[in-house]
């Protein structure tokens, strides 16, 4: 399905979002792009940002073509100077920040003895320090404009129950779960809510093509017997940032087809 068809198919549910400003990190593709699409469809002004200029430009163009108001910023958020520039350019263009979605991350994972120190350092910078600094900058803006706001982190089911060969990624996402709770307590007095979405298996389609045995085998391990798609995560983010979730903070919402609820996969009892 084309982006224009996907965009048109989204049913907006939160008219109060219209004109608000959202920064979605890592939003040029995959889950981040789905989140950006949903928020733009709700009428938000959305900042598209990632390290890759080509995909940032492509996603920005696609969203503008369907009528979204977007700003593109190429940035490596593991670098504090790039974090500062991201927020400076957002304020210059849109004047404020109402929602921050910390989605950008290095997804690589492996076994302990294969993880070198360079990968560990990079993931600590990209997956922990970047979200921490972005949260700090966003919270400063939200505190000062006195309307409050929302921060939504994107974690993973691997932060709760580790993947096989899950290092150092699962460890860094476990830190994001803890950061969510700590920020929620620290920022509640400013009417800033902080929550987290933890995706399960998110791919491009609900069901793979016939003959893709590996994908169909994977689906058998998901209780709902399908995959999630990026717009599922976008819907969860929109809910958590909406007034419908006004009394929700410090929570982790698992969007995983029931994966974390099960003790063992279907037809594989312990």
Domain ranges of the chain: 14-261
pLDDT on residue 1: 66
- Which residue numbers are catalytic? 169
CATH fold group of domain 14-261: Rossmann fold (3.40.50)
pLDDT band at residue 268 using 50, 70 and 90 as cut-offs: confident
The structure's pTM equals: 0.96
Task: State the alpha helices, DSSP H only, in the chain.
Answer: 3-9, 30-41, 53-65, 80-94, 117-123, 130-145, 169-187, 213-219, 230-241
Question: Residue 267: pLDDT band by 50, 70, 90 thresholds?
Answer: confident
Q: Which pLDDT value is given to residue 183? A: 98
Per-residue pLDDT tens digits for 224-247 = 999 999 999 999 999 999 999 999
Q: Each residue of 181-210: pLDDT tens digit? A: 999 999 999 999 999 999 999 998 999 888
pLDDT digits (tens, 9 = 90+) for 126-164: 999 999 999 999 999 999 998 999 999 999 999 999 999
Rounded mean pLDDT of 210-218? 90
């Amino acid at each position: 399905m084309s982006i224009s068809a996907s965009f048109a198919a989204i049913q907006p549910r939160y008219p109060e979002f219209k004109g608000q400003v959202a920064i979605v990190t890592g939003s040029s593709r995959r889950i981040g792009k789905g989140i950006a699409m949903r928020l733009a469809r709700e009428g938000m002004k959305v900042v598209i940002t990632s390290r890759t200029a080509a995909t940032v430009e492509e996603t920005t163009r696609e969203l503008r073509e369907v009528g979204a108001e977007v700003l593109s910023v190429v940035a490596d958020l593991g670098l504090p100077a790039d974090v500062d520039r991201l927020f400076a350019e957002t304020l210059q263009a849109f004047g404020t920040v109402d929602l921050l979605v910390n989605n950008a991350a290095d997804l690589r994972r492996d076994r302990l003895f294969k993880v070198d120190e360079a990968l560990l350092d990079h993931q600590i910078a990209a997956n922990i320090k970047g979200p921490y600094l972005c949260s700090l900058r966003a919270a400063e803006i939200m505190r000062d404009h006195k309307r409050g706001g929302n921060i939504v982190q994107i974690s993973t089911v691997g932060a709760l129950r580790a993947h096989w060969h899950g290092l150092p990624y699962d460890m860094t996402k476990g830190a994001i779960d803890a950061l969510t709770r700590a920020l929620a307590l620290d920022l509640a007095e400013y009417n800033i809510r902080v929550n987290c979405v933890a995706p399960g298996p998110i791919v491009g389609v609900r069901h793979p093509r016939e003959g893709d045995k590996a994908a169909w085998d994977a689906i058998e391990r998901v209780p709902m017997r399908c995959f999630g798609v990026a717009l599922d995560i976008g819907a969860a983010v929109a809910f958590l940032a909406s007034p419908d979730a006004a009394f929700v903070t410090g929570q982790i919402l698992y969007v995983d087809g029931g994966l974390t609820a099960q003790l063992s996969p279907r037809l594989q009892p312990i």
